[in-house]
Amino acid sequence: MEEKENGNPSSTAGWDGVERRMPQAAEEPPAEPFTPVPADWQSRGVAFLIDLFLYAALHFGGPALGFGILGGFLAVLYITFRDGLFGGQSVGKKIMGVRVVHLDGGPISYVDSSFRNVLFIIYLLMPLAIAVEAVAAFRHPERRRLGDRIGKTCVVQKAGAPVLA
């Protein structure tokens, strides 16, 4: 094998000692930064009400259906991990055509959903916190609530979905 000046074999030299040219990789243009366009508050609010209805159905309907305390446990699991379903959409968000993404535009996981929704466990004890979250989201320039700031996520309008406002 052919050797370079420092005594090491050349990485482009073939078995016959003939130097081969490596195809140069085309340089990719730098990716455009993701600028989230926040979903309108009406879609987010209706999606939250749908999710709250599902939570209540699991929590209060569980004992009625014979699940007992399991219904409450399933309700807490749903409210905590709901945004990890369907690629960043809870059932309510899927119906309303909005989704949760990272600030860089990537999809979120169940772990991200739990960070984002950990405050809702407190909401089970303090319903006033829901109003505090709504005011915090309304006052933020990008309409991000406290959970979005903790989880480094944002709620955006899904492409092709009608906007209510």
3-state secondary structure 49-76: HHHHHHHHHHHHHHHHCCCCHHHHHHHH
> Which residue range forms the structural domain that includes residue 70?
41-156
pLDDT at 19: 61
pLDDT at 18: 59
Q: What is the mean pLDDT of residues 105-118?
A: 87
**Is residue 46 very low, low, confident or very high in pLDDT (cuts 50, 70, 90)?**
very high
User: Does residue 147 fall inside a structural domain?
Assistant: yes
pLDDT at 91: 93
User: Does residue 133 fall inside a structural domain?
Assistant: yes
pLDDT at 20: 59
pLDDT at 9: 54
Question: Strand 98-102 to strand 153-157: parallel, antiparallel, or no bridges (unpaired)?
Answer: antiparallel
Q: What is the mean pLDDT of residues 28-45?
A: 73
Q: How far apart are CA 13 and CA 100, in angstroms?
A: 50
Q: Are 100 and 116 in contact (CB under 8 A)?
A: yes
Render pLDDT for 58-111 as a digit per residue (tens, 0 to 9): 888 877 777 777 888 888 888 889 988 888 899 999 999 999 998 888 888 888
Q: How far apart are CA 124 and CA 55, in angstroms?
A: 10
User: Does residue 150 fall inside a structural domain?
Assistant: yes
Q: Calculate Rg over the CA atoms of the chain.
A: 25
Render pLDDT for 121-145 as a digit per residue (tens, 0 to 9): 766 666 777 787 888 888 887 788 8
User: Does residue 4 fall inside a structural domain?
Assistant: no
**Is residue 157 very low, low, confident or very high in pLDDT (cuts 50, 70, 90)?**
confident
User: Does residue 162 fall inside a structural domain?
Assistant: no
User: Does residue 15 fall inside a structural domain?
Assistant: no
Cα angle 16, 22, 27; round to 5? 175
Q: Which two tokens stand for residue 125?
A: 């004890």
Poorest-confidence range of 11-15, 41-45, 79-83? 11-15
What's the number of domains the chain is made of? 1
User: Does residue 96 fall inside a structural domain?
Assistant: yes
Torsion of CA 98, 103, 107, 113, to 10 degrees: -80
pLDDT at 25: 60
Strand runs labelled E in the chain: 98-102, 153-157
pTM more than 0.85: no
User: Does residue 27 fall inside a structural domain?
Assistant: no
